[in-house]
Amino acid sequence: MPFLKKAKTILIIVLMLAFISVMFGFFSLFFGPKEGRMESYQQNKSQNMEKTIYQFTLNDINGSPVSLSSYKGKVVIIVNVASKCGLTPQYKELQAFYESYKDKGVVVLGFPANNFMGQEPGTDSEIKSFCEKNYGVTFPVFSKISVKGSDMDPLYRFLTSKELNGVMDSGVKWNFQKYLIDREGRLVTFFDPRTEINDEQVVKAIEALL
């Protein structure tokens, strides 16, 4: 009996911590900063020539390694995506934006992640099929990674740490947060998950880099 009571107590604590974590995520989503400060990028870009995304290699959705240096010279939008999220319809806007801007030197990179309430539970092949069948996605989508926590992918450690990117600290608040990268591979800013890719502020920031 003492063992059962102890196990029950531990279970309650675990559930409470999980609940607090979820609530903190929702609080950050609705009340946290909506975007990073462009001033930080402008002030530090000359000092950040070596702090770029080009140092990273990740597997694409088919399992083939892709060096992000292959996107040199392009403006890059990095998005953590999920197929079972209230924001999943943003795939449609991301695809339309990519089609409109790809010939202007802009690329969208999608990184599936299951960090938020298990909203990307599928395998890479299932994610690929979902994106193609439901949204006709042709922009590059990568193998599923983690974008927060102890198993955070090195790319996202770079994107979220000023010490590493030289521009700003941030936290990934939910699925579909957007990180903007300039033509030299440097972090510029980020945009809130609920801010769509065709939002006036986003478009203005992207076009300023072209």
Find residue 191's DSSP bridge partners: 35, 178
Tell me the percentage of the chain whose pLDDT exceeds 90. 76
Q: Are residues 49 and 88 in the same domain?
A: yes
Rounded to 5 degrees, what angle do the CA atoms 73, 109, 161 make?
85
Domain that holds residue 55: 34-207
- What distance in Å separates the CA atoms of residue 179 and residue 81, rounded to the nearest whole number? 12
Q: How many domains is the chain partitioned into structurally?
A: 2
Banded model confidence at residue 202, pLDDT cuts 50, 70, 90: very high
109, 114, 115, 119: CA torsion to nearest 10? 110
Q: Are residues 19 and 84 both part of a single domain? A: no
Contact 136, 105 (CB under 8 A): no
Q: How far is CA 197 from CA 67, 109, 157, 162, in A?
A: 24, 12, 23, 24
Mark whether 132 and 182 lie in a shared domain.
yes
> Which domain CATH number covers 64?
3.40.30.10
Q: pLDDT tens digit string along 158-187?
A: 999 999 999 999 999 999 999 999 999 999
Q: Do 173 and 188 fall into the same domain?
A: yes
Instruction: State yes or no: is 131 an active-site residue.
Output: no
Catalytic residue among 29, 38, 58, 85: 85
- Given a cut of 70, is residue 37 above it in pLDDT? no
- Based on the domain organization, do 70 and 4 belong to the same domain? no
pTM of the shown model? 0.84
